[in-house]
A and B are shown apart, each in its own frame.
Chain A
Amino acid sequence: MIVKNVTLLGHKDHGKSTLIGQMLIQTKTVTQDRINEAKKISENLGRPFEPGFILDSFSEERENAMTIDTTRAELTYKGLAFEFIDVPGHEELIKNMISGASYAEFAVLLVSAAPEEGIRDQTKRHLFLARMLGIKKLIVAVNKMDMIKYDQEAFNGITADLSSFIRNIGFDEGNATFVPISAYSGDNILEKSANMQWYTGRTLLDALYDSAESAESNVNPSLRVLVQGKSFDSENGIMGKVLCGEVKVGTRVVALPESRNYTVKEIVSQGEQVQSAHAGDNVDLEFDGKVDEEVRGSVVADETGAPSPSDEIIGKLFVTKRFNGNTLIKANGNEMRCKINIEQVIDPTTGNAIKDSKPEELQAAIANIKLEKKAVFEKSEKVPELGRFLVYSDNEFAGIGIVE
């Protein structure tokens, strides 16, 4: 059973941790010990039972009722295993949100329907980031319906407003499902809520189940092996991971960016000698010639259809910290100094270009990036692992980028 990773998204206090806690309780996943612990802590803090405390484990998180860092919890529903990734909703913790959400294929976006809450900038920012992180299927959970007397019109209003934004940032609208819920009282999570007879769609867990069932995985047939380092026991060998395609004994390959051509003589995959290895496998490849001393971060590809190494890339950035001239990017074991030339600044809460010349914190941009040396990058939609990078400024994390 392959576990599906689902990230929660949304503005702070719109109910991400509460929803995961509630799902764990309703599906009887979590032990009574942990529920009791969360009850006791809620009591000690003088507040009603908070299901989110099953996940929020730091003392500061509980005392302030906020998620500081990402965490995970697994449950099984109708034979499918889901791992839910909780992320903080606060703007200043976006680095932690990105770290957590980057592992997900699916997302549940929480929007509170409570008065004075609704769609916020952070709601949209998280959606914009979800798109950059490669999430394709989305459930929008319109939460806190119990606080507005389960009002259908409010639900329809949020659905209409958010649908146009979702279209605008390039999500396929057919891949977004809207479900009215109450994470706190448990409406429409596991069972259809009697409080919302007007809603004829799926419950949250059924909507997720459908998304997971219908998700098709794109299989790229081209061979790409990410090189982690030289073999310990051979001049002619590398250690690496097959990102996509298949590598076979006897195949002609090229190592890039150094452009050395080899024939694959021997493949060891996780300790066993094999004739071929596939996407996801860790391999030791033995070639018919010496490999360079500095091979970490190189890519081994088929001789035909190999990517062209370049010292220049066009990327879409999301900025978490305003950066200066002293920038470097990190990708797949490479760390390279670079010069980032901003071509266009984008407001992630609208998806539209704005006139600024430099992106501020929490803004996005299209940039031309000059690298100190040649490296292998490909478009993120073609080979995701080779189409994304982290940006650092003065040795501090400053944002993420994808190659477009």
Chain B
Amino acid sequence: MIMQELKKLENKSVFIIREAKLNFKNIAALWSMGKDSTTMLSLARKAFKGKVPFPVIHIDNGIDFPETYEFREELTKKWNLDTIVLKSKIKSEMSGFACCGENKTVALKKFMNDNGIDGLIVSIRRDEHGIRAKERYVSPRNEKFEWNYKDQPAELWNNYSSKLDKKGHVRIHPLLDWNEIDIWNYVKAEKVPMNPLYFSRNGYRYRSLGCTHCTVALKSEAKNIDDIIKELETTSAEERSGRQQDKEKEYVMEKLRALGYM
């Protein structure tokens, strides 16, 4: 039963990833080494006979976990990825909005402008956040990276946005339909390599990964994928409850996304 639904999700994501590659001139993907963007890379390998045909970008503010850097090097080698590391600056007094918004976005903007990237794959899911649930599969951003969420394009019947204002780009969201638990069921079924931080050590694990400054580990005994799936079936806490940026103000996610945050 689970497999049937996963197959349907996989089919749709592969279709969207192929549309992205075939409909735009120069695409790239964001890779945080988290579960969602790593699953997306696994899907991209399925879409293109085992080879990811676009660069994958890690926006590195220098304060990610050591495990995350190791995982990046390992998988880059194993899957022969064209991994591009963008260094972003961090000031110690920054947190949440300023850090995620300003820092990361500035480095990304520069890279995309310098390289003429017209499509960026971002592995967000609807169930993560009410604002992300409002996204289209293919969503235009203007030259300033802004999201005009009050006037999104029509999107239906396999017709995704292709019309660009000259200097803008599109965000492509192939995982929009997936739930957190779908990701883990898929990781299990497809043996997708995972960042070890998701698994419990000394009674704690990370459920959603950001950098060391704004991510908090949650109490958990889930030491493997089966444990995680069981935990998710019974938890009543939000996935991003360990992420600082969502909590600062009610509409901080809306503001971040409107400004170009992933």
A residues with a Cβ closer than 8 A to B are: 1-3, 31-34, 37, 41, 54-60, 68-74, 81, 95-96, 98-99, 102-103, 226, 228-229, 232-233, 239, 241, 268, 270-271, 280-282, 284, 296, 320, 330-333, 335, 385, 388-390, 395, 397, 400
Contacts and interface: CB of A to CB of B under 8 A. Distances in A.
A173 B152 CA distance: 35
B238 A33 contact: yes
B131 A58 contact: yes
28 contacts: A2-B8, A34-B238, A56-B130, A57-B131, A59-B250, A60-B150, A68-B150, A69-B134, A70-B134, A74-B127, A96-B154, A99-B152, A99-B156, A228-B22, A229-B22, A239-B22, A241-B11, A270-B11, A282-B18, A282-B47, A296-B22, A331-B157, A331-B159, A333-B23, A385-B158, A388-B157, A390-B154, A390-B157
Contact of A270 (B10, B159, B237): B10
B136 interface: yes
A330 B157 CA distance: 10
Contacts of B254: 57-59
Nearest to A402: B157
Nearest to B45: A271
Contacts of B133: 55, 57, 71-73
A318 to B, nearest CB: 12
Given A57-B133, A239-B22, A69 B154 contact: no
Contact of B19 (A34, A228, A232, A385): A228
A281 B157 contact: no
Chain B, interface size category, equals: 35 or more
B226 interface: no
Contacts of A57: 129-131, 133-134, 254
Interface of B: 1-2, 4-5, 7-8, 10-11, 14-15, 18-19, 22-23, 45-50, 53, 126-127, 129-131, 133-134, 136, 149-150, 152-159, 162-163, 179, 236-238, 241, 250-251, 254
A1 B241 contact: no
A390 B158 CA distance: 10
Given A3-B5, A96-B152, A296-B22, 8 more contacts: A2-B5, A33-B241, A37-B250, A228-B19, A282-B15, A282-B47, A332-B159, A397-B154
B251 A59 contact: yes
Closest 7 CB pairs of A and B: A57-B130, A102-B156, A229-B22, A271-B46, A270-B46, A71-B133, A397-B154
Nearest to B150: A68
Contacts, number: 130
Nearest to B50: A271
Contacts of A59: 250-251, 254
A320 B134 CA distance: 21
Nearest to A241: B15
B18 A400 contact: no
A72 B152 CA distance: 16
B49 A2 contact: no
A285 to B, nearest CB: 13
Contacts of A56: 130
A69 B15 contact: no
Contacts of A1: 1-2, 4-5
User: Which of A32, A271, A385: most chain B Cβ within 10 A?
Assistant: A271
B52 to A, nearest CB: 12
A268 B50 CA distance: 11
B179 A74 contact: yes
A390 B131 contact: no
A226 B159 CA distance: 13
A233 B49 contact: yes
